[in-house]
Structure 1
Amino acid sequence: MVRAGWPPAQATRIGALMRYFVTGSALSSFARGFVDDRETYDPADYPHLGQAHLLAEHRRRVDEGAFETGLRALLEGLGLEYGRRGLGGTARGGPAHGS
């Protein structure tokens, strides 16, 4: 990343960010955090969790979709930052001389 133009401190932070994102995704499931009992989430107390009991059966799809969405957002954001800083010298913000 430093050879591609990122300042060393920023490259270190990006490396840590990616480690935390991947590790957190591997260690925990968003969907598994919800009880699969329909009666658990009283609409008076949890008006937006009316279908939370269904998440457990769709856990893999929910979690994989969340990971892909998050990774895409991270990479696109880093690409924008790369371009904003003028690090790559290309119109799309990619490395000017390889990755």
Structure 2
Amino acid sequence: MKILILITALAAMLMPAHGALRQCAGSRDRRYESSGFLTADWTQKACNASGGTIDPNKRGNQKCCNVPDSNQDKFTVWCAGQSDKNFNKYAPIPQPC
């Protein structure tokens, strides 16, 4: 029982205290790419690069990353630098979820 309490306390301390839900939307003419693949892929990559965590309950065009406050700029830069040759008319747009 004591070990379980210790693990829970350590996990709570390691979780980021503050963050924001962000996504890297695949957008063209103010519209999402319809399959949701592009937004999900770009959000996942920007999230990994910025040390964030993906909300497991959202997928496709709703995919969100909880980005620590200290890494907001890193998420934005990583998002904006992405491209996909199969979706060359779509631009990555970092935005809140």
TM-score normalised by structure 1 residue count: 0.28
Q: For CA contacts below 8 A with separation 6 or more, give which structure has more relative contact order.
A: 2
TM-score normalised by structure 2 residue count: 0.29
The structure with the largest strand share of the pair is 2
The structure with the largest helix share of the pair is 1
Structure of higher CA gyration radius: 1
